[in-house]
Amino acid sequence: MSAWERYASATPESQHPGPSGLRDWPRSVVRWLLGRSEEDREPQDTVRTVARFQNICISRETGAGGGAIALLVGRRLGWKVYDHELLEAIAHRMELPVDDVRSFDELAPSVVQDWLLPLREEHYAPQEAYLDHLAKLIEAIGRAGEAVLVGRGAGFMLPRETTLSVRIIAPLRIRALRLAERTGVSVRTARRAARDLDRRRGQFDRTMHRMASADPHNYDMVLDSQSLGLDIAVEVIVRAVQAGRPGAMARPGPGSWTLSPGSQLATVPEIGALATTDAAQHSVVPDSFTETGSGSEAGESADEAATDPID
């Protein structure tokens, strides 16, 4: 069974606990959710961490598996994952059903809406409130640190120097096939839905942050989940975070480029090893995510994660 199939067979409800499980959330986020007084605020000069990356923000194409990768990364690092949990927290704060808040999710306000807002505030105020709550919630999560945030322009809100910003992509044909299988619609309908949702998310980022979500220069890394597979994509992200921890760079791994004291030649990987690695990196996996992990480790990590089919 492939890694993606194990995700599809997992129970989604178990991965998206509602606001009732607040004991698992960072204290600063709970304070935002329940309301916080001035005396609860943390001092501005509080030292959080000296690690290079304090949070991970994952932008994703529709159906590329960004949500699944986020869950596995959070599992590996022991970090809290915020995807649908963001909507649940905002719905709790706005005292609205989650489905109502979902209609505002990653939807950019239009020029006409901005003009009509003073005239029809009772109609447009919920989306404005959603955007305000989203910004404050992401800010609170960023202060708490050790979080994996999925979408919603989070990578454009948190400080770039302390945030690992990742873009997950995959070919449209593969994404459409996967969406069609998960949702039970035709491939043609799934392809159109993927394009529409990508366009909606892109418009949200352009309107709210003046950034192009498809521009690779806006990210620290862009990973193709189809060619790499879920497990390798997760490993790349996890190792980037681990390499940014204090003292991590002082321990070069096998095959690293090093220069020993007193020598004039750098120690480099052998040509055969480079060729093997290059061939492995450019291999294209046909229509499904590959299972690259070995034995129980890959099975254990995949069995505990599930994701919305559109992620």
Q: What are the pLDDT digits (tens) for 157-214?
A: 999 999 999 999 999 999 999 999 998 999 999 999 999 999 999 999 998 899 999 9
What is the pLDDT confidence band of residue 102, given thresholds at 50, 70 and 90? confident
Spell out the domains of the chain, with CATH numbers in brackets.
3-245+257-303 (3.40.50.300)
Between CA 304 and CA 6 the distance in angstroms is 9
Query: Which burial class, exposed, middle or buried, applies to 99 when counting CB atoms under 10 A from its CB (0-12, 13-18, 19+)?
Result: exposed
Residue 287: what pLDDT? 40
Q: Is 283 left (phi over 0), alpha (psi -120 to 50) or beta?
A: beta
For residue 297, pLDDT beyond 50 = no
For residue 279, pLDDT beyond 80 = no
Residue 51: what pLDDT? 83
For residue 40, pLDDT beyond 90 = no
Residue 216: what pLDDT? 95
Contact 290, 284 (CB under 8 A): no
**What percent of the chain shows pLDDT beyond 70?**
59
For the chain, state the CA radius of gyration: 21
The set of residues, in sequence order, having a beta carbon less than 8 Å from that of 36 and lying 6+ positions away, is: none
Q: What are the pLDDT digits (tens) for 60-98?
A: 999 999 999 999 999 999 999 999 999 999 999 988 898
Between CA 208 and CA 276 the distance in angstroms is 44
Residue 289: what pLDDT? 38
The set of residues, in sequence order, having a beta carbon less than 8 Å from that of 223 and lying 6+ positions away, is: 69, 166, 167, 168, 169, 233, 236, 237
Of 93, 116, 65, which is closest to residue 306 (Cα–Cα)? 65
For residue 23, pLDDT beyond 80 = no
Residue 248: what pLDDT? 67
For residue 245, pLDDT beyond 80 = yes
Between CA 246 and CA 250 the distance in angstroms is 9
For residue 299, pLDDT beyond 60 = no
* 151, 157, 158, 159: CA torsion to nearest 10: 130
39 — phi, psi (to 5°)?
A: -70, -15
Residue 172: what pLDDT? 96
What is the pLDDT confidence band of residue 241, given thresholds at 50, 70 and 90? very high
Between CA 172 and CA 246 the distance in angstroms is 39
Between CA 189 and CA 55 the distance in angstroms is 35
Across all residues in the chain, what is the average pLDDT? 74
Provide the β-strand partners of residue 169.
Answer: 224
Residue 127: what pLDDT? 79
The lowest-confidence range among 25-39, 155-169, 172-186, 265-279 is 265-279
Residue 170: what pLDDT? 96
Residue 104: what pLDDT? 80
For residue 16, pLDDT beyond 50 = no
What is the pLDDT confidence band of residue 31, given thresholds at 50, 70 and 90? low
- Residues 126-157 as b/e (b if ≥16 CB within 10 A, e otherwise) read bbebbbebbeebbbbbbbbbbbbbbbbbbbbb
240 residue type, one letter: A
Torsion sign across C-alpha atoms 32, 165, 157, 122? negative
For residue 24, pLDDT beyond 90 = no
